[in-house]
Chains A and B, each alone.
Chain A
Amino acid sequence: MSVALESIASAVGRRYRALRTSRTLATFCANPLNVAGLSIVTAITIAAVIGPLVAPYDPTTQDLANRLQGPSLAHPFGTDQLGRDLLSRLLYGARLSLGIAVAVTTIRLVLGTTIGLLAGYTGGWVDEALMRLVDIQLAFPGLVLALVIAGILGPSLRNVMLALAVVGWASYARLVRGTVLATKERDFVRAARLMNVSRFRIATRHLLPNVAGPVVVLATLNMGTVILGTAGLSFIGLGAQPPTPEWGTMLADGRHHLRTAWWIANVPGVAIMCTVLGFTLLGDGLRDVLDPNHETTLEKRT
């Protein structure tokens, strides 16, 4: 798989050069929403990286005397029912929530891409079998299955991630297979076959790079859904164990205070919303420039 990843990476790299040389960058920037998405995601990422360094307080230290304090200079986002500084919890949470999203998405992506590539490229029985597998996974409503799995395994972030990863890979497999099948029939792959190019090289050098675009897009969009999924499971009560400052859990806990201390729920709520929004916008933007279905934008020679 590493090779595959590599060539995805290199493909993305090459795309990036293409971006610079072609009008793609312009295409991307033409839509302010894309730019907004990019900036939000960048911001969140920075928060995740340096958050703990700049956080004013320890995310778990309580101060019962100052519980339920509204936003103030000391506590820009106020304090929660145990007097913990929400801003600090939010910053630490960013790393956590983003980490979960990345981890889950990566597992899904690797698993799905491998299967999809295998199915699409080998075809025949293998394809049939793998696709049935995909159908089976897709037959279960994602969150429902995740809920059951996480529930049976017992509440913990690890299990939540596991569950979410297990239920998410199929869409990648399907996407990749579809693109592979489409690409496989394109003349340049047929040409490669005639040039005695090895199957493996065809798969990694000719198919993967063309698959990479849509996959990257899907992954980006997926980040958002994973974050939402985690929040949902946390709300049901399968999420992080206290005092972990996980956004979903913070939001779920804060809901009892919605009337009396709105910030406890709404601060993490808005954080989640922005993050998801950011990734979705970014995903749309990337789709405009990476997805072959939108190749037109690339081939535009004014």
Chain B
Amino acid sequence: MTTTPPTLEYGPDDAATPDDESTDLLAVENLQVQFGTYDGPVRAVDGVSFSVEPGETVGIVGESGCGKSVTARSIVGLQEPGEVVGGTVHIDGVNVHEASDRTRRRLRGDTVSMVFQDPDQTLNPAFDVGEQIAESLKVHDQPERQRLLDYLHAPLFASRSDWRDHRKRAVELMAQVGIDDPADRVDDYPHEFSGGMRQRAGLAIALASDPDLLIADEPTTALDTTTQAQLLDRFRRLTDERNMATLLITHDLGVVADICDRVVVLYAGQVMETGPTDRVLAEPHHPYTRALLECRTSRAARKQRVPTIEGAVPDRLGEQPGCPFAPRCPAAVDTCQEGKPPTFERDDGTVRCREGVVFGESDDDGGPVLEYGCGETQCAREDSSTTSDTATATARSASPPPRPDDDTDPLVSLEGVSKRYQQAGGLLRRLLGTDRCLQAVDDVTLEIAAGETLGLVGESGSGKSTLADLVTGLETPTSGAVRFDGDPVGAAGTRTAATLHDVGVVFQNPRSSLNPRLPVAQVIAEPLYADGWEDQRRRDRVGELLESVGLSERHTERYPHELSGGQLQRVAIARAIALEPRLVVLDEPVSALDVSVQARVLNLLLELQRELELTYLLISHDLDVVEHVSDRVVVLSNGEVVEAGQTERVLAEPSHPETAALVEAVPRLEHSSQ
């Protein structure tokens, strides 16, 4: 870290802190943050303590809504919309929340920097990238002299020369974070950058102040896997070079495994377990940590149920006794329900659970899984929404799925299908012929056999979704033919009711795929109505469907905005199978969902396939998901099929570099644990 500024500069309000903390660059002590809501304050962060030493990389993991981000933001003093109600955060010995704005600015200016999650949000669209990095540099150089007019570049008031060489240094930084020919890109505006580039620029801004501590809040979540890999790599290097401490917030254990020295597992605003990454991932002490690890499809056998954590992260409304995880915990006993669970210091970290779990069975590996078997049914009682899948699951998990025998003719076949898009534009431009085309799908030929699951993978923009739209008939191919049972079909508008019934669709984002103005029952009934079913019959069918996707009657009159993401996706699935289609197109069905919820929805899909002998076309960027559920895989790149074949084969020994890259990019626990 850079020279510690004399305490004087921090002003009187920042009492110099005891020596024992001085080794820690960041020390979070019993931090408590609350959100005000209609039903009173929600304890988003509920007594979190951990520390980061100079140079080390610490990961914070947990499902969304666990208070990861809030914790991170509170550290740099960005509390909106929450409010710190207790505990302390010391950075470099300075108490952040008692410090004056001036001091806090100074801290941000040269001690701690932050990288944010959403690449569309990190950069100000109104200023070119160079400017935004230069600003950061300028603040770092003169934290005290910030004159508005100067920063507005008001003529006469702005010190042009300053800005000029700040800009020069910005170019260097951009080079360091891996932006190609930065000299040209420095004048670009954020919208001219790709997501990955923006995150890089964000990183550059963060590094500009040459911080001792870098806080990264899900920096790669929004990027597709290959870009993610590159960026993470860049992270690792830069932090090593500068011996910079890093606090990495993520929900992806893979990422943690990749780059973190230590990990802090957060649940419902509380620290469940801390420890060295390798140990925690290898032999987690805390049931929650285990559960998290178990949920990962990559761990489960293909086509088999994935163990799940039932229920959802609770809202921490008001005082609730006991361990927050208890309701979902397989290892829970009555005592978990009352009193705060103790936190045990182990040689390499801490665990917050009842003694038995921490020092008991945890060592034998078979234990946990078995626990889940029964744990499951326990939880099932609490959440009716899962009765069906758990029940059926245990019943069916044995029987392997029907493998398509190759001589049966395919359900769907695409023959040299291409799709070109006209760029948006008015008539006149069309007349002038000045419009330009975008080759979305290029001469694709493939078949989907009845009963199989075809996985469609590829980076974003590779044409996955367009291909799906072509199959469903939302788009018509510019050339080539789409055949259903051998007969060519056109756009949805031109298809027969029968053909339309044969295809069901589940979209990526359940919120946008369900009409917010219709209650659940009507949403599901819509296709039935369109098919002319009369009232009573509709109602019965809706009942069945709700049941089979594991939603209870009480949901029928709810409006979409009153349901959780997982429940919504179930509704969407129910609608998709309402008319007993043969093919269901699943467009990123789980990518909008949380890990644990993801697992549950995948389980549901697998069961439905068995029960209804459905054929799936699964589009996903998540190889783990694809690997888990699909029989065959097709890899798309720039609208072309670059590789196709049996899932195991393709993912195990990819023949095409594109595929290899995809596979390579996926962060896996195994890397580190091996």
Counting CB contacts under 8 A, is A21 at the interface? yes
Q: Does A75 contact B (CB under 8 A)?
A: no
Q: Is the CB of B513 within 8 A of A196?
A: no
Cβ contact within 8 Å between B426 and A128: yes
Give the Cβ gap from A69 to chain B, nearest Cβ, in Å.
53
Which of A196, A292, A299 has the largest number of chain B CB atoms within 10 A? A196
What 0/1 readout, one digit per residue, does chain B (320-355) give for beta carbons within 8 Å of chain A?
000000000000000000000000000000000000
A192-B526, A194-B472, A197-B527 known; A23 vs B516 contact (CB < 8 Å):
no
Also in contact, A292 and B516, with CB within 8 A (given A23-B38, A302-B37, A302-B315): yes
Q: How far is the CB of A298 from chain B (nearest CB, A)?
A: 5
A187 and B579 CA atoms in complex are apart in Å by 19
| A22 vs B558: C-alpha distance when bound (angstroms) | 10
**B615 → chain A closest CB, angstroms:** 16
- Given contacts A188-B515, A210-B517, list 10 more A-B pairs with CB under 8 A: A15-B517, A22-B561, A187-B513, A188-B513, A194-B503, A195-B527, A195-B530, A197-B526, A210-B516, A301-B561
A173 to B503, CA, bound (A): 35
Beyond A125-B427, A190-B474, A299-B561, whether A195 also contacts B511 by CB under 8 A is no
Please tell me if the beta carbons of A194 and B474 are within 8 angstroms of each other in the complex: yes
- For the complex, give the distance between the alpha carbons of A196 and B474 in Å: 12
Q: Tell me the interface secondary structure of chain A in the complex.
A: helix
- Chain B's closest residue to A189 (CB) is B515
> Could you say which of B1-9, B164-172, B492-500 contacts chain A?
B492-500
* CB pair A206 B559 closer than 8 Å: no
B449 contacts partner chain A, Cβ-Cβ < 8 Å: no
With a cutoff of 8 Å between Cβ atoms, the chain A residues found around residue B527 in the complex are 195-197
Residue in chain B with minimal CB distance to A15: B517
Residues in chain B near residue A301, CB distance under 8 A: 561-562, 564
Within 8 A of B (CB), among A10-30: 11, 14-15, 18, 21-23, 26
> At the interface, yes or no: B666 with Cβ under 8 Å from chain A?
no
- B296 interface residue, CB < 8 Å from A? no
Contact A206 B515 (CB under 8 A): yes
Contact with A along B477-506 (1 / 0, CB 8 A): 000000000000000110101001101010
Contact yes or no, A295 B516, CB < 8 A: yes
A-B pairs under 8 A by CB, number: 92
User: How many interface residues does B have (CB within 8 Å)?
Assistant: 43
Known: A21-B559, A302-B39. A193 touches B474 (CB 8 A): yes
A188 to B514, alpha carbons, bound, how many Å? 5
C-alpha gap A295/B42 in the complex (Å):
22
B474–A14 touching, CB < 8 Å: no
1/0 contact trace for A223-259 toward B, CB 8 Å?
0000000000000000000000000000000000000
Complex contact A187–B530 (CB within 8 A): no
**B495-542 interface with A by 8 A CB criterion:** 495, 497, 500-501, 503, 505, 507-509, 511-519, 523, 526-527, 529-531
- A94 CA to B531 CA, complexed, in Å: 51
Closest A residue to B560 using CB positions: A299
Closest to A30 in B: B38
Interchain CB contact (< 8 A) of B507 among A18, A21, A191:
A191
Interface of chain B residues 119 through 166 with chain A (CB within 8 A): none
As a 0/1 sequence over residues 270 to 309 of chain B, the CB contacts with chain A under 8 angstroms (1 = contact) are: 0000000000000000000000000000000000000000
8 pairs of residues in contact across A and B, judged by CB atoms under 8 Å: A15-B517, A22-B559, A125-B427, A188-B513, A191-B505, A191-B513, A193-B492, A302-B315
Which chain B residues lie closer than 8 Å to A205 at the CB level? 518
B residues within 8 A CB of A298? 516, 561
Minimum CB–CB distance for A191 against chain B, Å: 6
* B251 CB within 8 Å of chain A: no
Chain A residue contacts of B518, Cβ below 8 A: 14, 205, 209
Chain B residues, Cβ within 8 Å of A21: 559, 562
A158 contacts the other chain (CB 8 A) = no
Flag whether A201 is at the interface (Cβ < 8 A). Answer: yes
